[in-house]
Amino acid sequence: MVFTRNPELGKVKTRLAKTIGKANALKVYEYLLHHTHDILLQLDIDKAVYYSVTIRENDMWSSHHFQKHQQQGSDLGLRMLDAFKSAFKKNYNKVIIIGSDLLDLRAKHIKDALKALDTHDITIGPALDGGYYLIGMTNLYSNIFQNKNWGTDTVFKATMQDLENHDVHLLDELNDIDTFADFKVYPELKQLIT
């Protein structure tokens, strides 16, 4: 499952937009969406896209390859919890959510996460900013989606505290692109801005 924001001017990459402007932030986010899309198409697994606002029928996320859903819940934790519940109700035995703003994400990270779930309860891909870019599990652990300051550098640490009695596999730490400091290390993203 990939969580996305609907790509709308002024609604995406708002921290980055403070430095490079709303139009450029939208270009960067659309580039990141395409990157995530292309990575997922390399994988022979069931795939779903979860839109932040409204489901779009005629966009890059073809319903031929992706199930389409709208995120439900008042914060990111509740939205992820709802998506996991829905997947487990459909009898999936390995479920993973990824974000859509990582240029360092490769198909290998998702394959590694799925393989890790053969022998671990949970797998997490920590982000350099203190959050995480991927979380996967074989059973629903509802508590990890509650009482978090989403969007802050405390999320990964607080989640790991919730999971101290579980067998957790950690993936590579990757750079989640939210700020100008995250953005400026990628020449291909810098070329997008005008």
Residue 90 sits at the vertex; the CA angle it makes with 87 and 94, to the nearest 5 degrees, is 50
Residue 194: band (very low, low, confident or very high) from pLDDT cuts 50, 70, 90? confident
Token representation of residue 60: 């890059």
Confidence (pTM) = 0.94
The whole domain housing 18 covers 2-190
Q: Average of pLDDT values for 16-22?
A: 95
**pLDDT for the residue 69:** 97
Structurally, the chain folds into a number of domains equal to: 1
Token representation of residue 194: 């005008």
Strand-pair partners of 174: 127
Which residue has 């590694």 as its token pair?
A: 112
What average pLDDT is seen over the chain? 95
**pLDDT for the residue 150:** 93
Strand 168-170's sheet: what is its strand order?
A: 67-70, 48-51, 2-3, 95-98, 132-137, 122-126, 168-170
- β-strand pairing of 122-126 with 168-170: parallel
Say what percent of the chain tops pLDDT 90. Answer: 96
CATH classification of the domain holding 144? 3.90.550.10
Q: Is 190 helix (H, G, I), strand (E, B) or coil?
A: helix
